[in-house]
Amino acid sequence: IPRYGQPGAMAKVIVRLVTASGRSRIEVPASATFGEFQAEVQNRTGVEAGVQKLSLDPRAQQVVSGSPSTPLAQLGIVNGAQLHLTNREASIAAQVLTKVPVPVEPEAPVPKSGSSGAAPSAP
């Protein structure tokens, strides 16, 4: 079995995506293209690839763009990178974690000490 960093290992790129509504962690193969990455961003946020505004900074001054066939590494998108999706309509609502109540069986009351229900033994 190949290990991470060895030949034959499936290298991955993890990108932190920040939007106005939250954060998401996107994992793609290291060989992924910009188009494949944009498709994953669309799956997570609902913003179509053609209108996505991705940048390396929150003020969108370091814009990330390229043709869909451009490898991510050529665009400076490497493992651990943080990208900002500055589209206002971006939503990561599906990523929000919610607390689900766990059903618990009620416990039987524990009798107080000294009242075990058995008759006291005579001396």
pLDDT at 82: 94
Q: Are 53 and 39 in contact (CB under 8 A)?
A: no
pLDDT at 79: 93
Q: Which pair of tokens denotes residue 46?
A: 């609902």
pLDDT at 16: 94
Q: Is 17 helix (H, G, I), strand (E, B) or coil?
A: strand
The pLDDT profile of the chain, 123 residues, written as one tens digit per residue, is 444 444 445 689 999 999 888 888 999 999 999 999 999 999 888 889 889 999 998 888 888 988 999 999 999 899 999 999 988 776 665 444 455 667 778 788 887 775 555 555 555
**Helix residue ranges per DSSP H, the chain:** 34-45
pLDDT at 11: 87
Give the chain's count of helices (H) and strands (E). 1, 5
